[in-house]
Structure 1
Amino acid sequence: MQSLSRGRRYALACAAVGAALAAVLHLTAVFFAVAPANAVSDEYRTEIDGYIYPWFEQHWALFSPNPFQENYRIDARTSSAGRVSGWSDLSAFDNEAMRHNPYPARVNQNMLRRAWKIYRNRGDLNAPARTERAELFRVYLRTIAVARLAELGRPAGYDALQLRVTTLPIAPPAGRGPARPASALLLPWWKVPVR
């Protein structure tokens, strides 16, 4: 077998060093993305997030180190020319789609709940959105609610929508303390674009 020429060995060594350097930089960025806040991750948060999201986002739901500790019931009502409808349970629609289905789609069962959690964590709950990102989360949650109302047979033509979110804590295992009480949050009315 013929040995590699000096130029090819040099090129192969450069490629190996480049690949090793890329792997080290990738692992370093992932480490600082998931590690607790520290001086480096605080200083370079924008650069780290720019590299990590959306392609390398870390989501630990598979291992469930922090499982859901509460369920949400999300109700919606509409207003048209000052007439307010009754509440419609949007969560019940999701739950019914999963009940008796051995292979429910994760997208359907999590979309409304995840939209609420994102909005709750990053939106402005009782005020107009102060940032573009908060407005985006509000529109996303509103769009899902409008789609669910249509799936429930609510006719179009309303001009405003209001959500009520009831937090239903999951009871802890026996002997691990008392269950927290349920709580409800009434969001402000949101204008709905004419369809």
Structure 2
Amino acid sequence: MAGSEAAPVGKGPGEEADAGGEGATESGAPPSASWPPGTDGHEPAPGPDEHEPGRDHDGDSAASGAVPRRAGEESAEDRERGAGGAGGPGGPGTGTGTLSGAAPGPARAGIAGLSTPYRVVAGAVMVVVGLFTCVHLAMVFLHVAPSNTLSKEGGETIDDWIYPEFEQNWKLFAPNPLQQNISVHVRAEIVDADGDRRTTRWMSLSAEDGKAILHNPLPSHAHQNELRRAWDFYVNSHDDKNRSTGTRGALAEAYLRRIVMLRLGEHDYGGTIDRIQLRSSARRVQAPSWSTEKIGTQPMYRELAWWTVSTADLPEGSVAAAKAAPGEEADQ
């Protein structure tokens, strides 16, 4: 029809981009949905694998005027890390990875880092240790404190707890620190099978204990304190002439005889021990090499009378006790 222009039916390959842009502008149609907001259609949209201009490596805006990322938009780096956005599987915030820059939570240390069963066991152990510590401190306090109602009523229980492992001894300090080396010696009168008697030489029982303790990382408490305490018990219950000063004198003598016979029972003297005699040897501790003090170290002896050995003094189960006459054992 004359005076009207027909719409172009087809265009060449080189005219498609211009025509499309002009046609969209002239007709007022909105830009293509593939363009990001903020563009007017004259700027090419970034490809899927291309880095958007104006963004740094972490996807944050590097400079003012940079095109921000739309809410819910997922970058290629987020997809690689597994931090899915709104379009990821499971909806927003359900990615399997950790977002870039997120700090891990603080690791729990100590008992809090254990599982529940182990925390229960650790708590129970701490309670038991705490109770034992409290009981032990209370027992030691009652043992060293002046006599009072509690220590009198529970004296036996306190002694059973303290002796022998937790014994308290103040002789290392004032008013009377130890300044002597004391050793206990013994000799015995032996009766052989023919009835002949002979006396052995002096033997140092303290030296035998020292030999058993030397180079021993776990020495026996008996080797360390049994003989020493027995001798102290005897000395404190007797005067300088070996006469008993109280009701415990006889008990101290019997206790010392039994310990000595227990030690002598470890040796074979070719007969039966009929009597024993004890003595102590005390030597003052020598002054150190840098001191100008002159101290005499000659031994001072305290010799006891001869004691006749009875069946009650023999160690239970020993050969000598087994040979004892039933009548003699009953009398004793």
TM normalised by structure 1 equals 0.64
Task: Report the 3-state secondary structure (helix = DSSP H, G, I; strand = E; otherwise coil) of the residue aligned with 2:146.
Answer: helix
Higher strand share: 1
Task: Report the 3-state secondary structure (helix = DSSP H, G, I; strand = E; otherwise coil) of the residue aligned with 2:305.
Answer: coil
Residues 88 and 155 from structure 1, CA distance in 2 versus in 1: closer, same or farther, beyond 3 angstroms?
farther
Query: Structure 1 vs Structure 2: percent identity of aligned residues?
Result: 28
Gaps of 5+ in 2: 1-140, 192-196, 312-320, 322-332
**Aligned: 1:191 with 2:308:** yes
CA distance, structure 2, for counterparts of residue 29 and residue 165 of structure 1: 30
Aligned residue in 1 for 2:279: 164
Relative contact order, higher structure (CA 8 A, sep 6+) = 1
**Aligned: 1:134 with 2:249:** yes
CA distance, structure 1, for counterparts of residue 179 and residue 154 of structure 2: 27
Residues 53 and 64 from structure 1, CA distance in 2 versus in 1: closer, same or farther, beyond 3 angstroms?
farther
CA distance, structure 1, for counterparts of residue 171 and residue 253 of structure 2: 30
CA drift at 1:72: 1.7
CA drift at 1:125: 5.7
Aligned residue in 1 for 2:221: 106
CA distance, structure 2, for counterparts of residue 63 and residue 162 of structure 1: 28
Task: Report the 3-state secondary structure (helix = DSSP H, G, I; strand = E; otherwise coil) of the residue aligned with 1:73.
Answer: strand
Residues 155 and 48 from structure 1, CA distance in 2 versus in 1: closer, same or farther, beyond 3 angstroms?
farther
Higher helix share: 1
Residues 88 and 172 from structure 1, CA distance in 2 versus in 1: closer, same or farther, beyond 3 angstroms?
same
Larger Rg: 2
CA distance, structure 1, for counterparts of residue 187 and residue 244 of structure 2: 21
Deviations 1:94-133 (A, max 9, x none): 0111112122123222111111111111135644646441
TM normalised by structure 2 equals 0.40
2:189 pairs, out of 74, 79, 103, with 79
Task: Report the 3-state secondary structure (helix = DSSP H, G, I; strand = E; otherwise coil) of the residue aligned with 1:75.
Answer: strand
1:58-97 equivalences under 5 Å are: 59-61=167-169, 64-66=172-174, 67-80=177-190, 82-97=197-212
Aligned residue in 2 for 1:15: none
Contact (CA 8 Å) 1:165, 1:185: kept in 2 or not?
yes
Bigger Cα displacement from structure 2, 108-117 vs 153-162: 153-162
Aligned residue in 1 for 2:121: none
Deviations 1:12-48 (A, max 9, x none): xxxxxxxxxxxxxxx7996434xxxxxxxxxx9xx89
Task: Report the 3-state secondary structure (helix = DSSP H, G, I; strand = E; otherwise coil) of the residue aligned with 1:167.
Answer: strand
Task: Report the 3-state secondary structure (helix = DSSP H, G, I; strand = E; otherwise coil) of the residue aligned with 1:61.
Answer: coil
Residues 143 and 98 from structure 1, CA distance in 2 versus in 1: closer, same or farther, beyond 3 angstroms?
same
**Aligned: 1:32 with 2:142:** no
Residues 93 and 50 from structure 1, CA distance in 2 versus in 1: closer, same or farther, beyond 3 angstroms?
same
CA distance, structure 1, for counterparts of residue 152 and residue 271 of structure 2: 39
Aligned-residue CA RMSD (Å): 3.5
CA distance, structure 1, for counterparts of residue 254 and residue 201 of structure 2: 22
Residues 152 and 60 from structure 1, CA distance in 2 versus in 1: closer, same or farther, beyond 3 angstroms?
same
Gaps of 5+ in 1: 1-26, 34-43
Contact (CA 8 Å) 1:126, 1:188: kept in 2 or not?
no
- After the TM superposition, list the runs of 4 or more consecutive aligned residues in structure 1 that deviate by more than 3 angstroms: 27-31, 47-54, 56-64, 124-132, 152-156, 172-178
1:42-57 equivalences under 5 Å are: 50-51=152-153, 53-54=155-156, 55=158
Contact (CA 8 Å) 1:171, 1:179: kept in 2 or not?
yes
1:118 pairs, out of 209, 219, 233, with 233
AA paired with 1:189?
Answer: W
Residues 64 and 129 from structure 1, CA distance in 2 versus in 1: closer, same or farther, beyond 3 angstroms?
closer
